Amino acid sequence: MMLKLNRLFFALWPGEAQRRACDEAARELRLKMQPGGYLSSPDRYHITLLFLGDTVSPESEAAALKAAAKVRAAPFALNLELASSFRANKKIPWWLGPRETPAGLTQLYDRLNEAMLSARVLPERMKFVPHLTILRDAHLPLPVTPIRPVAWNVDEFVLLRSRLDQKPMNYEILGRWSLDGSAPPPPPPSQEQLGLF
């Protein structure tokens, strides 16, 4: 049976000011380095938190939405201060990222990952390296390069669907959740606490 394409991932979704600043940094780097390839569209900028897969079932999608609503984490400041690249086969993506991962981002990632595992939604296992892709298919790698810092007060996360059926490809926001710093809900009482044993 052919599995239906349904590419889903949780991400940080920047505001317009961050998109403009990242686009300016991308254009400056491209002008200076002449790497070939093509710039990512600013309206698709994001930082992936968890990738859920290419063929997520409707049941897993519903479970992911429900579990994400239970995640509690505080807002945090994220400063994109560096540009660099990954080597992926012959295609080299360039990206912007923080000098150090903020504790708030690590906490959000951990809580979101735990929520998915509890809901039996298994994200793809990959090392978490927060980055925002600005250019694809570069012909040369980009050494770590300081940029004019892009300040971003992160106060939400989203679940996105890659709309590969659209030209150009786009993202559809399926859900968005605020980071309000409230405490996580208490776990349900055990059978022992309920006096059943």
Per DSSP, the residues of 170-181 read EEEEEEEEE---
- Tell me, what's the pLDDT at 63? 97
- Tell me, what's the pLDDT at 196? 46
- Tell me, what's the pLDDT at 197? 41
User: Which three-class secondary structure string do you get for 97-162?
Assistant: ECCCCCHHHHHHHHHHHHHHHHCCCCCCCCCCCCCEEEEEEECCCCCCEEEEEEEEEECEEEEEEE
- Tell me, what's the pLDDT at 97? 98
8-178 topology per CATH: Cyclic Phosphodiesterase; Chain: A, (3.90.1140)
pTM of the model: 0.88
- Structural domain spans, the chain: 8-178
Two structure tokens written together for 134: 């600005």
Which residues, given as ranges, of the chain have pLDDT below 70?
1-3, 88-89, 182-197
- Tell me, what's the pLDDT at 1? 52
Q: In whole angstroms, what separates CA 165 from the centre of its chain?
A: 21
